[in-house]
Amino acid sequence: MSSRFRIQPDPPVAGKPAEVTYVGPATEVEWQADDGTPVRVKPGKDGRFTIPKVPSADSLMFTDHRGLPGYLYRDVTHLG
């Protein structure tokens, strides 16, 4: 199943920036690291937004609240 979200690098790396691309109908999306507080983001006109520093977490989750195609789950990679 293809998601409306793409993330680079994939999988994301803890402590490093990640660039997220969203292609879908929502003007605002949400991401969350593990049990952390959800972060609301308005993607730019090109659908992109950046997570400056990926949290040191197990996972990142993204949603546009518009069904499963608008959801992305990724395990976070930890270097060293």
Partner 1 sequence: MILGRFQHVPCPDFSDAPPYVAVDARPELEPRVTRRHLMTGLAGLGFGAAVAATVPSLLGRADTSPGAATFARRQGAPVDVSKLPDWARDMLEKPPEHLIYNAGVYEMKGARAWRDRRLVPCFERLLDVAIETSSKDADAVGACAARALGRFGDAEYLTQRLGAILARPELESTKDAALRVIETVHRMQQLDTMQDEQKKKGR
Report, in Å, the least distance between residue 11 CB and partner 1. 14
One DSSP character per residue, the chain reads ---SEEEESSS-BTTS-EEEEE-SS-S-EEEEETTSPPEEE---TTSEEEESS--SSSEEEEE-SSSGGGEEEEEPB---
**Is 55 one of the binding residues for partner 1 (CB under 8 A)?**
no
- Sole binder of partner 1 in the list 10, 17, 50, 68 (CB under 8 A): 68
Q: Residue numbers of the site for partner 1 (CB under 8 A)?
A: 1, 30, 32, 34-36, 38, 58-59, 61, 63, 65, 67-68, 70-73
